[in-house]
């Protein structure tokens, strides 16, 4: 299969698998959402990057002596419906790059990133990606079995915490943190995030 180096070589309305994705050497950063190419927003804003850096530092300090591992974008996470067992490259149609994720099952990790759902994903919204994060990725993360999902709003200095109700296969909005709150993970109850520090300018 020929290596793709220009986005113009691809059909943006086409359907692709992870096997195809492995042959792309593009300057643009993209994700693959159920086989469809999804162009990521231009370089994240200063606010996005500031919050991302602060959260990475806070969480790294809390996870560095634990078996679970923290990763920050760019980091490929290959997702598939957790009710299916197919994991061959040609049968995976979703590759995303969450802003932050925590993975406890080291069997999911390989040199290409993570195969399967992280335990916890944090997405930091930019003005241009709100709809994708709120709708498309919300459903993807639920379907693939991400246990906890935080959506971070830098401009509002707020965090919405969703926890997967596996019995009913849906996300529950567990908490809405803001401003000076101490946000605590549900899956990792010993992990606390001082939002005043995370959102500090």
Structural domains for the chain: 7-39 (no CATH), 46-198 (3.90.1570.10)
Identify the three-state secondary structure at position 184: strand
Whole-angstrom Cα distance, residue 92 to residue 201?
40
What pLDDT score was predicted for residue 135? 87
Q: What is the pLDDT of residue 1?
A: 65
| Pairwise CA distance, residues 103 & 71, whole Å | 8
The pLDDT score that the predictor gives to residue 85 is: 55
The secondary structure of residue 134, as a DSSP letter, is I
Distance CA 193, CA 58 (A): 7
* β-strand pairing of 94-96 with 100-103: unpaired
- CA quadruple 51, 97, 6, 16: dihedral sign: negative
The confidence score (pLDDT) of residue 145 equals 94
Mean pLDDT by 10 residues, the chain (201 residues): 88 93 90 90 83 97 94 94 66 93 96 96 83 84 96 95 95 95 97 96 82
- The enclosing H or E element of 101 equals strand 100-103
Question: What are the pLDDT digits (tens) for 43-69?
Answer: 778 899 999 999 999 999 999 989 999
End-to-end CA distance of the chain: 47
Question: Would you say 103 and 145 are in contact if contact means Cβ atoms under 8 Å apart?
Answer: no
């Amino acid at each position: 299969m020929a290596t793709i180096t220009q986005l113009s070589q691809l059909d943006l309305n086409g359907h692709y698998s992870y096997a195809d994705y492995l042959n792309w050497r593009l300057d643009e950063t993209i994700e693959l959402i159920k086989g469809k190419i999804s162009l990521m927003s231009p370089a994240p804003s200063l606010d996005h990057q500031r919050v991302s850096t602060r959260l990475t530092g806070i969480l790294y300090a809390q996870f560095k002596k634990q078996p679970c591992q923290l990763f920050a974008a760019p980091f490929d996470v290959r997702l598939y419906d957790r009710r299916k067992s197919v994991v061959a490259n040609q049968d995976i149609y979703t590759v995303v790059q969450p802003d932050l994720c925590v993975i406890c099952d080291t069997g999911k990790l390989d040199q290409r990133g993570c195969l399967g759902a992280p335990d916890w994903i944090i997405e930091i919204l930019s003005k241009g990606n709100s709809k994708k994060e709120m709708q498309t990725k919300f459903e993807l993360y639920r379907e693939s079995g991400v246990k906890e999902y935080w959506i971070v709003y830098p401009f509002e200095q707020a965090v919405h915490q969703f926890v997967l109700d596996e019995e009913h296969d849906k996300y529950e909005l567990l908490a809405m943190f803001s401003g000076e709150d101490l946000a605590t993970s549900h899956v990792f109850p010993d992990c606390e995030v001082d939002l005043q520090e995370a959102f500090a300018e």
